[in-house]
Chains A and B, each alone.
Chain A
Amino acid sequence: MQKQQYDQLHETVYSEVMPNGLRVYVLPKQGFSKTFATFTTDYGSIDNAFVPIGQKQSVEVPDGIAHFLEHKMFEDEEGDVFDTFGKQGASANAFTSFTRTAYLFSSTDDTAVNLHTLLDFVQHPYFTEESVEKEKGIIGQEISMYDDDADWRLFFQLLGNLYHRHPARIDIAGTAESINRITKDDLYTCYHTFYHPANMILYVAGAVEPEDIFELVRSNQAEKEFAPMDHVERVEVNEPATALHSRAVEKMSIRLPKVLLGYKLSLHSATENLLYEEARLELLLETLFGEGSEAYETLYSEGLIDDSFSSEAMIERSFSLAAIGGNTPKPEETEARLLDIIAHAQTEGMDERRFERMRKKLLGQLVKQLNSTEFLATEGTRYAFHGASVMDAVDIMQQVTFEDISGLLQNEFRIDNRTTSIVDQKGETDA
């Protein structure tokens, strides 16, 4: 068991790597009632072409399969795992992102029993033809729900514009057509490749004693056998640096249009710390577009944006992007003004005092999030997959310099890697 102390933050993180490769982190929180645990694989919707464990040839699997697998993990021979957690007083859930699938529970007592359940159900796949077919109806409704969600459509249209062939352009849940092709054998192939302990992290935050948790995990894992594994070989796509389309408009049944400006970045290929890249991108976007910035206040008082306006920095394993936008009565005009703001900052420079204020603001936000066991476990896992600790975030934020963000603005915000996504009102004539 390793122990890492963070004096300024009054936190200690304990960790251990199990003989089978599973990485375990424990963050005890004094005074909390709740324990929050996540069991996460480094596997998400973009991992759709890879060499299966024990094989030589790569395969391509249907879109949306990581998410489908997440749904199916909750069923075993005895029935529904949600039910087991419920009987043990815990709430369970799961989510699938571009690069991760996480299973989690929170409980206020019987943590040990629930932790065994979490480890056991995720490490025990059970799929039948029948149960796979049954799930297609449920996920079909989930996809249908997202089809009506204008913000979701706006974002995925943006990704579709940016990427030529990188799988980030595909909806996380896949499509009605792609999920219909999924078989139980596909699920087992993905499962055995990506759910190997060496590809996973267990993170426990809350009312716990670290040594108890490690002892529990050691004995739980000692009873299971896994084939040896080096690393997962994913098929890399050759993705150009430029955007595929410069704009796209979708019409939906809404009353206020939405615009999103996106830049396809190269920050994910930095050999240094990805989290540092993420911090400087966040600081740049806050400085330029955050509430209180000249841009935000001007556009707001002109009625071009409202408080849905925001910016997003996204740096994942094999792609990175920046997105800026929100609701607007005039999408084209707002787009033009945002481009002006970026061009102006590139020629005239940014306000360094504002940059320093944004650093303070983001630091405060980080410390605030340390109140949350959910944040600690999910972000702690994300940082750990990147080889860092969530507690380093405070230090990382302090290292970013004004020159760093100015350089980022000059190099990464160009015309050829940019796109615009608009969701507009469907008029009577479009029906």
Chain B
Amino acid sequence: MQPVTTNTNIPVHLFQTKQFKTTAVIMQCRAPLSEHTAAGRALLARVLKKGSLRYPSQSHIKEKLDDLYGASFNVDVGKRGNYHVMSFRMEFVNEQFLPAQEDLFAEATAFLAEMVHAPLAEGRAFNSKIVEEEKRTLVQKINTIYDEKDRYANMRLVQEMCSAEAYSVHPLGDAHQMEALDEQKLYDVYEQFLAEDAIDVYVVGDVGSYDVEAVTGPFPERSPLPPVEDGSERPPRVRYVEEADDIHQGKLQLGYRTPVTQDDPQFAAMQVTNGLFGGFPHSKLFQEVREKRSLAYYAASRYESQKGLVMVMTGIEKGQYEQVKTVIGEQLQALQQEAVSEELLAQTKRMLINQIRETTDAPGGLAALHFQGKMAGRVRPIETWIEEIEQVSAEDVLACANSIVLDTVFFLHGKEDKDAETTV
């Protein structure tokens, strides 16, 4: 399904569909990812979420959302390749499924525009109480990445592997930069966001005709984002990094690079290659590491197509580090040396196509697929994408597998004495 795009200052993409019981409105605002702006934008997202002139406190906001039949409203930041994306999301029930007859679309979009364009600020400064509270929450969030060991290991892998690149920046920024922000500095961040971000708005649901400008609100005219400069450099040899922590299970993560990104003609082939490597239960990693050798509960790979990374993650016993690392290396080698069987190839393609089609069954999924393409500079209609996957050959997979190069290995493991007692 393709959206109808209204190309005014801010493009609005409408997916008109009766498939859902809700309407979703999503505003995607992106800027280049940078260590100088990440903390500020992360804080801005939270401060805008927490108050506006008309809804000055969380109780006012929640009261309004509850009255809109539990409409959800969220603002957050994320990393998509070298972009820092601030997302405003609203989802609310289509009134035809409710006992009440109110124009929820008009009310919900007016609320969204209010939160974006009329924040709780005086002069050129945000409300200092909210700014301080949200700073504290974000510093806590940054510190507690450590508490979830998989997330922590992945953050550390990316920091080590991409240390000289924008991609190493965490979407929440770092705690020191967060501490240095205040209500005035944050207002500068806000003005820069209003003036410079590249913005796409998505509307998904059974909405018929509506007032486009009421949905986006009054953004000033803007010029296109400059291309993101990114010097990815490969180390002369593979980097190995280890860290000890007081934990039971070791977290092993391997970072690979590939020149194939989402705008590349080989993109679909790279997706299939990653699928064969570690994307599914029938993939080499799951079959060899878990099913054949009982070395792990999970072993998978993920393809970061905006940036050109393949990351492998697994949880293992510390003493089996060398063995698991070798087995993982052999799986990639197998894909690089032998043509994959037609059967496995077909199976992987079907799974991928299934995944893409399933994504379209959620309002956010339709919008996300389109936005991914938009960021990569190449929007593919879903049917075209599926066709590209169907045409991938065993030779394409060989070529893609041979473009994948190991860069960094990160291992977070238990301390010495602990290991002895977990080995039964």
Q: Which residues of A contact B (CB under 8 A)?
A: 8-10, 30-34, 80, 82-83, 86-92, 106-108, 134-142, 144-145, 147-150, 176, 180, 252-256, 290-292, 294, 296-297, 300-301, 303, 306-307, 327, 329, 357-358, 360-365, 367-368, 370-373, 426, 431
* B420 sits at the interface (CB 8 A): no
* B357 sits at the interface (CB 8 A): yes
13 A–B contacts from the bound complex (CB under 8 Å): A8-B99, A9-B21, A91-B354, A139-B297, A141-B317, A145-B249, A145-B298, A291-B62, A306-B140, A361-B65, A363-B70, A365-B70, A368-B93
* B212 sits at the interface (CB 8 A): no
- A147–B414 Cα distance when bound, in Å, is 12
Residues in A with CB closer than 8 Å to B18 are 30-31
Residues in A with CB closer than 8 Å to B148 are 149
On whether the beta carbons of A108 and B66 are closer than 8 Å, the reply is no
On whether the beta carbons of A367 and B424 are closer than 8 Å, the reply is no
Q: Return A91 CB to nearest CB of chain B, in Å.
A: 6
Q: Name the residue of chain A whose CB is nearest to the CB of B91.
A: A368
Interface residues of B in 241-287 (CB under 8 A from A): 245-249, 280-282, 287
On whether the beta carbons of B361 and A34 are closer than 8 Å, the reply is yes
- A350–B293 Cα distance when bound, in Å, is 57
- A361–B70 Cα distance when bound, in Å, is 4
On whether the beta carbons of A108 and B357 are closer than 8 Å, the reply is yes
Residues in A with CB closer than 8 Å to B422 are 144
Q: Return B307 CB to nearest CB of chain A, in Å.
A: 26
* B177 sits at the interface (CB 8 A): no
Other-chain residue from A9, A80, A136, A141 in contact with B291 (beta carbon distance below 8 A): A80
On whether the beta carbons of A367 and B362 are closer than 8 Å, the reply is no
- A87–B97 Cα distance when bound, in Å, is 39
| Known contacts A8-B99, A141-B249, A141-B315; A89 and B351 CB within 8 A of each other | yes
On whether the beta carbons of A138 and B290 are closer than 8 Å, the reply is yes
- A82–B91 Cα distance when bound, in Å, is 35
On whether the beta carbons of A148 and B347 are closer than 8 Å, the reply is no
On whether the beta carbons of B248 and A8 are closer than 8 Å, the reply is no
Interface residues of B in 99-128 (CB under 8 A from A): 99
Residues in B with CB closer than 8 Å to A134 are 294
Q: Name the residue of chain B whose CB is nearest to the CB of A356.
A: B66
* B385 sits at the interface (CB 8 A): no
Other-chain residue from A135, A148, A255 in contact with B249 (beta carbon distance below 8 A): A148
On whether the beta carbons of B354 and A364 are closer than 8 Å, the reply is no
The interface centre, meaning the residue of B68, B315, B350, B363 with most chain A CB atoms within 10 A of its CB, is B350
- A329–B139 Cα distance when bound, in Å, is 12
| Known contacts A30-B19, A176-B424; A303 and B133 CB within 8 A of each other | yes
Other-chain residue from A9, A86, A371 in contact with B282 (beta carbon distance below 8 A): A86
- A88–B280 Cα distance when bound, in Å, is 13
On whether the beta carbons of B58 and A297 are closer than 8 Å, the reply is yes
On whether the beta carbons of A300 and B133 are closer than 8 Å, the reply is yes
Contact with A along B133-163 (1 / 0, CB 8 A): 1001100110110111100000000000000
* B167 sits at the interface (CB 8 A): no
Q: Name the residue of chain A whose CB is nearest to the CB of B92.
A: A364
Q: Name the residue of chain B whose CB is nearest to the CB of A367.
A: B93
Task: Rank and list the top 3 A-B pairs by shortest CB-CB distance, nearest first.
Answer: A292-B62, A364-B70, A137-B294
| Known contacts A148-B249, A255-B144, A361-B70; A371 and B20 CB within 8 A of each other | yes
* B180 sits at the interface (CB 8 A): no
Other-chain residue from B65, B97, B147 in contact with A8 (beta carbon distance below 8 A): B97
Q: Return B282 CB to nearest CB of chain A, in Å.
A: 4
Other-chain residue from A138, A150, A255, A363 in contact with B69 (beta carbon distance below 8 A): A363
On whether the beta carbons of B66 and A292 are closer than 8 Å, the reply is yes
Residues in A with CB closer than 8 Å to B424 are 140, 176, 180
User: Other CB < 8 Å A-B pairs besides A31-B17, A87-B350, 16 of them?
Assistant: A30-B18, A31-B18, A31-B19, A80-B291, A86-B281, A87-B347, A135-B294, A144-B315, A145-B297, A253-B245, A292-B66, A300-B133, A301-B129, A362-B70, A371-B362, A431-B246
Q: Name the residue of chain A whose CB is nearest to the CB of B351.
A: A86
On whether the beta carbons of B354 and A82 are closer than 8 Å, the reply is no
Q: Name the residue of chain A whose CB is nearest to the CB of B130.
A: A301
* B221 sits at the interface (CB 8 A): no
* B63 sits at the interface (CB 8 A): yes
Q: Return A61 CB to nearest CB of chain B, in Å.
A: 21
Q: Return A166 CB to nearest CB of chain B, in Å.
A: 27
Q: Return A146 CB to nearest CB of chain B, in Å.
A: 9
- A9–B97 Cα distance when bound, in Å, is 5
Residues in A with CB closer than 8 Å to B354 are 89-91, 106-108
* B387 sits at the interface (CB 8 A): no
Q: Name the residue of chain B whose CB is nearest to the CB of A79.
A: B291
Other-chain residue from A10, A180, A306, A357 in contact with B63 (beta carbon distance below 8 A): A357
On whether the beta carbons of B141 and A306 are closer than 8 Å, the reply is yes
Interface residues of B in 337-394 (CB under 8 A from A): 343, 346-347, 350-351, 353-355, 357-358, 360-363
On whether the beta carbons of A367 and B21 are closer than 8 Å, the reply is yes
| Known contacts A86-B281, A368-B93; A32 and B361 CB within 8 A of each other | yes
- A370–B137 Cα distance when bound, in Å, is 33
Q: Name the residue of chain B whose CB is nearest to the CB of A251.
A: B246
| Known contacts A108-B357, A108-B358, A367-B22; A256 and B143 CB within 8 A of each other | yes
- A90–B136 Cα distance when bound, in Å, is 45
On whether the beta carbons of B147 and A254 are closer than 8 Å, the reply is yes
Q: Return A284 CB to nearest CB of chain B, in Å.
A: 16
- A426–B362 Cα distance when bound, in Å, is 42
Q: Return B57 CB to nearest CB of chain A, in Å.
A: 7
